[in-house]
Each structure stands twice: as C-alpha cells, then as structure tokens.
Chain A
Amino acid sequence: MTTSTDSAAVTTAAGARSAAAPSSPPLLEVRELAKHYGGIQALRGPSLTVDAGSVHALVGANGAGKSTLVKILAGVEHADSGTVLVDGEQVDIRTPQESTRLGLNFIHQELNLVPKFSVAQNMALGYEGGSRRGMLDRRAARARAREVLAQLGADVDLDVEVARLSVNDRWMVSLGRSLMRDARLIAMDEPTASFTEDEAERLFGVVEGLTASGVAIIYISHRLDEVLRLADDVTVLRNGGLVGTYPAGDLDRAQLTHHIVGHEVHAPEAGAGPPRDAQCVLSVSSLAAAPRVRDVSLDVQRGEILGIAGLVGAGRTELARLLFGADKATAGTMELDGKPYHPKSPYDAIRQGVALIPEERRSQGLLLLESVAFNVSLATEDRNRWRPGLPFTSPKKGRARAADMVQRFGIKTPSVRQRVSELSGGNQQKVVVSKYVATGPRLLILDEPTVGVDVGAREELYAIIRALAETGTAVIVISSDFEELAMCHRVAVMQEGRITDMVDGPQATKERLTALCYATGEAR
C-alpha cells in the first residue's frame, strides 16, 4: 500500500531517517497502555514511539509486558486503557485484520504458518494484491512471493511444503508474507532464538535492508548483544511499566542489563565442583539410536554439572531422551550408581532417580489449562496421599506442598490455583523445574533450560542448579547459549551424534566451544 511512498521519502538509511522524523508524525505511537489479566497487572501504562525506517528494540524480563504490548498492537488483546496512534491518528485495533490493514505485521515465535501448505500457498494467505473479485490470482501471488524472497536473499523453493523447511527458512517465509502484505511495521519476537550464528547474521542484513526501505521494526529479544547492535532505540519494560527509552548508542551491555533487572548481574559461575573421588552416578558407553545418536560414552559424578554443547541437530536432545527413557536406545549400555540402567519409559526413569526438563516448555512440560498446583505435583502426585498406603489424594495437602514449592523456587503467581498458561515464560519454566526437582532426582538433565527466560529468572535458575549440585545431584545441562555453560564443571561437545570433545570448565569459553562445534577431524 504505502511502502513505495515511504521508501521514496526515506532515501538513505540512518542519516535521512532522523532528518525526516520531525517533519511528520511517527509511524506508531503508543500512549499509556494498561492491561490486566485476572489479578495481574500486565501493563502499567508504558508509552513508546516508533519512527518509519528505524529499529526499535523492546526488552525486558519475562512478564515485563512485551508480549502483552505486542498482542494489543496485533489486535489479539484489547487494552483496558491508553491509546495507539498510527501516523498521528488514533486507531482502535479490534481484530488482527485491522492491524494488518494498518500495515502492522507480527512474526511470533510460533510463526503462524500452515505446515501442510507450500511456501507459495502460505505466502499467498491474506495477500490482497493477487485477488480479483475474491478469486486468488495465483500467478500474481507467486510472482510477488518470488520477488519478496529474492529481496530477502532467501533461497527457498516456492513449491516445497513448509513443514519440510528449516526453522530459519520458515522464519524467512513468515517475514516474506509480511512484506507481501505491504507491511509498514514488523514486530519480531525472539527472531534468532533457534538460529545459528550465520543465519542470525543473514537476518541482521535483512533488517538493515528493510529499514533502508522505510519499514519500521520492533525487535524483541533477550539477546542483548543483538539488540545493541541492531537497534536505534531501546525501550526497557519492567513489571509492565516503562523503565525508559534509550538511544542504543548510549548504552552498553552492563547498563542495559541493569535497566532490565534493576540490579547488577554476573555471568554464571561454576561452584566448587565434585571432589576428585566423587561417586559416578551415570555411566554411558557406546549408546546409540540412529540416526541422531551414533556413539556416545560419558559419565557424570555426584555433584557435577556437565554441559553438553553442540549445534542444532547434533543429537543432544535425542541423547537426553535416551537417558530419560523417553526413546529407546538401539545399542550401548548405561549404568546408574553402578547398576545396569535400562529405562523403558520416563515413568521408569523417574522411579530410578533420573529426571529430564524437556526442551519445549509449553508442549512438553506443562498442562497449560491446569493450575500451578496441578502442574508442580504432576510427577509426585503420590506424595499428596491422604493417608500413606491408600490410593486417595488430598487436594489440601497438594496445595500446601505447591505453595511451598512456589515459595522455594520463587514462582510469581497470585495463587497456586492460577492457570499456568497465565504465567510468564520464566515462571512457567520454574514450574517445570520444580515439578521435576520434587521427584528428588540423583541425575537431573536440563534441555535448553533458559530459552525465552529473562535475565533475572535465569540467575535464579542457575542458583537452583548450583544448589542441587552442591547437595550431590548430578546435573547435565544442554544449552545453545554457550555463555551459560560457564557454570559447568566440564563441557562435552557433541557433533553428529558423537561426543567429539570434552572441555574442563575454566577452558569452556563461548569462543572455544563454538570453534569445537564447527571443528572437523583434522582441525581438532
């Protein structure tokens, strides 16, 4: 609709942008939005302004109100009070369609693509330019789709099913669809969460290209380095309120973290570590389940935190599932506390003292429609027995135990009866962690424990992990955020289903691990 006029007005990227801004009203202005869910005030009146052709980063801890703000702009939620202005005119966004019509587009983490449709079909969804009297003009839509993908530098076949694309390509298709709808503003929610570094680089290039053509970007990310590099302005939210909007050039990482958390944070540190003669809890040899896990041997000791680094697809999650009995190994042996260990199911594993905090919090970790109490007790329901030996449970006992865990793990919720879907990501993760820690595991495996978890909650999770290790639990942490592997006593590097390196804690820097993940046989 208006992309062409915008790009005419904004000739070059950075310089012209700031010069053009004062003469016209900002593309988007948000004034004092407020929204509550039940007893929780999700937004307490933050305001922000986004100019055409700029990147405006939105940062804050989980539960700070970023998602709520974006949902209101997307027409998915309605604000209790406050106003939204587009081009200086007040708008009332009641539906997602209206939001799209205003040129606002959203790329959520869950991408909203139809997996069974082809790339072209997905991109044609909601494409008006190709319709003639309600009939879709396939050829026009295809031509436009090809043009957009070329502009993004995405090498994607238009006829391939979206389900078969990599996460990164899917993301590009999603972005392409926004561009087909003549987006004037695109909000990206944690875009690089599952990207490799190369892919992230490509995205940054795309973002720069978009802003040069006048599109405004709202960039939501927990990765502060990216934020500082890409953004023109950074708006920080905390507990639903505005902390401030800062020019990105005036900030460094430490300051930004300080604004987000409200106090200083440090990189996670490894605790003392297990004594030299510590008992071996789990010992794995030649474990395999083709094609993802080929030949893995490792052991973990009491009180040790073992990291597993690797690229997406290296087989780390699959290995964790084998250790937990969620999938079956086809070869190899495992010993737990010196005894043969062949878990047939997670039920089996948990009873023998192994727990896995799964990768996908919402789909694998939680019953979203159930209460906090229900969720934290799920793996230990038998401890809510009314009387020992009887099969009956006592909800009162369950709630008391849940309230205990809520306190112990610092879960922010108005009540243990609160639906878990209404908690923020960090608090949901704490619910999952407490559910498994309650089983009293001798070996606790955490698969990507801090994805989508804010800095403050991350620190709390690290503290929980360290405390567990200090009391003798063996811990395995799988993470793609290599900085957080600094808390490990040893880090195993996994490549194509094998453990290719083992690095001692102090040497496990982000750079070293990244290099080892990409290293081939000779280079190592």
Chain B
Amino acid sequence: MTDMPVNAAGLAGRPSFDARQLLGRYGAIFVLVLMIVTFSIIEPTAFPTKDNAINILNQCALAAIIAMGLTFPLLAGEFDLSIGYNASLCGVVACELMLKQNFSIPLAFLVAIALGATVGLVNGLLITRIRVNALVATLGVGTVVVGINYAISGGLPVSVNNTEQFINLSLGKLFGIPYPVYVMVVVAALLWVLLNRTILGQSMQAVGGNPVAARLSGIRVDRTRTLVFVLAGACAAVTGVLLASRTGSASVDGGDGYMLSAFAAAFFGSAVLRDGQFHIVGTLLGVLTVAVGFNAIAITGINTYYQYLFQGGLLIFAVGVGTLARRQAG
C-alpha cells in the first residue's frame, strides 16, 4: 500500500508482489516438494535413497533434453510437432551409419545432431520464407521424416555392431552417475545461458513477446524464428541417439512418444516461476515432477495406467492453478 518513491536506489530493486502471485509462481514447486515428502513417508526404504534419486534423474534425462529443445519454439510463439519423429529418425540414422558405414560413435552422434538440426532448419525456412503455419509445416515435415525413416530402416529396428560400447553411452557411469544425466545437465546449462545470457536469447524472447515490436526494434525476426527450430531439432537428435543407445538398437518409432511428454513438460514449466512464459528451468522442473510421480507409482506397485492419469492431471492442475492465480492477482 505504501507509495514507492522513485530514486536511483529504488530502481535496482524488485517490484513487490502479493501472495496469489507467489502461489502462481511457486505452486508447482510446492507440489514437487510435497510429492517428495509424501513418498518419502510412504516408502521410507525405497523412495528417499541416493540410488533412487539418481535413477529418477536418469529416467528423465532423455525427456528433459528434447523438452528443453521444444521450449525454444514455444517461447518464440511457435509450435514444433516434428520433434518426436525427428528423434526417431536421428536414432535410426546414427545406428545405420555405425552399422553400414563403420562410423565411430562420436562421429555418428555428431552427424545425427546435424541431421536433427537440418530438419529443424527446413521447418524454420518453411515457416519464415514461405509463411506456412508452424503447426502445418512441422506436421508435414514430421510426416515426411517418418517416410524417410521407413525408407532407410525398412521399418525394422537397426542394431549396431559394437553394441557394448554404444550401450555404454547410456549405462556407463562417472562417479556413480550415468552419462545421460551429465548430458542433460550440460545441455540445460548451455541452453539456459543461451536463452538468458546472450543477445540471441534476448531476441528469441522478444520475438515471442511481440514480433512486430521486435522487428521494429531491429531484431531479425525471421532469422531468430528459424534458429529456434534448429535448436529444437538438434535437441531431438540428442534424445534420439541416447534412446537408441539404451538397447543398442534404434526402432523406427522409438522417439515418437516424446513429443507429447515434451509439450506437457514445457507447458507445465510455463506455469512455474515466470507468469506464463516458457523457460528452461520450468521445463526441467516439469520433466522432473512427472518423473518423480512415475517413479513413486512404480515403487508402490500401483497399476501403470495411473501414470497417465497422473501426468494429465498434473498438467491441467499446474497450468490451471497458475492461470487462476495470475488472473486474480490482476
């Protein structure tokens, strides 16, 4: 209620906000903490252990990487429906290259990432140059990607020769923590810095906030829009290859299912910490919350179909509460 004087010292401070806003911003984190506490009480021997924590992180690594990639098109005001198919294709191509062209694992991985990024680039160019609606463009490209994938693999899973080394990518550990967790952390750090601490990241946020004002402020909107799809594609590729390395073979539709969970996580994350904006930490929390829930459901031995009820319910709850709180806070 107090009137805030305008002075240089006050300018650097944060604006005040009220309880409803706090609930809207931190409600989802509260839910996560509540879940962890509750499960720790219900399953004191199985849930709150170091091994299980690592297990949860390992399980959410792949979903987190692709979801963080998807966060970029979303925050720029676009959609990408091709990421799941893109991930499948990149897994298959990486395995094909190792099997038939004798590519080393790192080289195959890099080529797959380049391929994923190229698919993203095609999405971006269709959307910015030909002005195809993003939903249509990415759905079309995604379907074409499925076709290419079948043409390459013949619809059958592609196994690699040096299975053990490849599988080691997923199962190998450093200081007791599996490699995919490190990949997730590194990707998260890179993307966070890109979004929050680079000029390009600021441009992406500006394009999402108001593309007209962004363009008139000298931001190259089309270039920025294209790049968000490239990022999403590259992240999908990482998830696709890591997924194939779990079993040492890539199936033709292995990554498809990641699309919906990535959307769910990103939307969940948009309700966390910031008011309805997509951001990296939010997406990460979204993936983590779902993984904690799934883990607890598995440990307590409840039917697996509860996983879906849980995931859907959580999404609606988090986004609903966030929206409601924001609206009431005005």
Contact = CB atoms under 8 A, between A and B. Distances in A.
Interface of A: 36-41, 77, 80, 324, 326, 345-347, 349-351, 356, 358, 363-370, 374, 377-379, 381-382, 385-386, 391-395, 399-400, 403, 406-407, 412-419, 435, 439
Nearest to B208: A367
Contacts of B275: 369
Dominant secondary structure at the A interface: mixed
A393 B15 contact: no
B309 interface: no
Contacts of A386: 197
A367 B209 CA distance: 6
Contact of B16 (A39, A391, A407): A39
A370 to B, nearest CB: 6
A472 to B, nearest CB: 21
Interface string B195-214: 01111101101100110111
A358 B330 CA distance: 28
Contact of B11 (A366, A367, A403, A439): A403
Given A347-B220, A394-B197, A400-B12, 6 more contacts: A345-B220, A349-B218, A350-B217, A385-B199, A407-B8, A418-B15
A38 B15 contact: yes
Contacts of B8: 403, 407
B10 A378 contact: no
B6 A413 contact: yes
A406 B199 CA distance: 21
Contacts, number: 121
B125 to A, nearest CB: 17
Contacts of A435: 217
Contact of A370 (B2, B3, B4, B209): B209
Given A346-B218, A381-B202, A381-B203, A416 B11 contact: yes
A367 B4 contact: no
Contact of A40 (B3, B214, B215, B277): B3
B13 interface: yes
Contacts of B212: 363-364
Nearest to A411: B6
Nearest to A414: B4
Interface residues of B, number: 38
A392 B277 CA distance: 22
Contact of B218 (A39, A350, A394, A395): A350
Contacts of A413: 6, 11
Contacts of B216: 324, 326, 346, 356, 358, 364-365
Given A40-B3, A41-B3, A378-B206, A415 B215 contact: no
19 contacts: A36-B1, A39-B15, A80-B1, A326-B215, A347-B220, A351-B218, A363-B213, A369-B275, A377-B202, A378-B206, A378-B213, A379-B218, A394-B197, A403-B8, A414-B10, A414-B11, A415-B11, A415-B12, A415-B14
Nearest to B1: A36
Contacts of B219: 347, 378
Contacts of A392: 193, 197-198
B330 A77 contact: yes
A205 B202 CA distance: 50
Contacts of B198: 391-393
A415 B15 contact: yes
Contacts of B305: none
Contact of B217 (A346, A368, A391): A346
Contacts of B175: none
A368 B208 CA distance: 12
B11 A364 contact: no
Contacts of A347: 218-220
A503 B250 CA distance: 75
A128 to B, nearest CB: 27
A378 B214 contact: yes
The 8 closest A-B pairs by CB, nearest first: A39-B4, A367-B209, A350-B218, A414-B4, A379-B217, A378-B217, A403-B11, A347-B218
Given A326-B216, A369-B277, A370-B205, A415 B210 contact: no
Contacts of A419: 15
B106 to A, nearest CB: 26
Interface string B202-245: 11011001101111111110000000000000000000000000
Given A369-B209, A415-B10, A418-B15, A40 B217 contact: no
A406 B13 CA distance: 14
Contacts of B213: 358, 363-367, 378
Contacts of A370: 205-206, 209
A378 B209 CA distance: 12
B13 A415 contact: yes
Nearest to A240: B3
Contacts of A367: 206, 209-210, 213-214
A416 B277 CA distance: 19
Contacts of B196: 395
Interface centre among B1, B8, B203, B218 (most CB of A within 10 A): B218
A264 to B, nearest CB: 23
Contacts of B3: 39-41
A80 B1 CA distance: 10
A283 B277 CA distance: 44
A8 to B, nearest CB: 41
Nearest to A396: B12
Contacts of B1: 36, 41, 80
Interface in B240-264: none
Contacts of A37: 330
A38 B12 contact: no
A155 B219 CA distance: 44
A381 B199 CA distance: 6
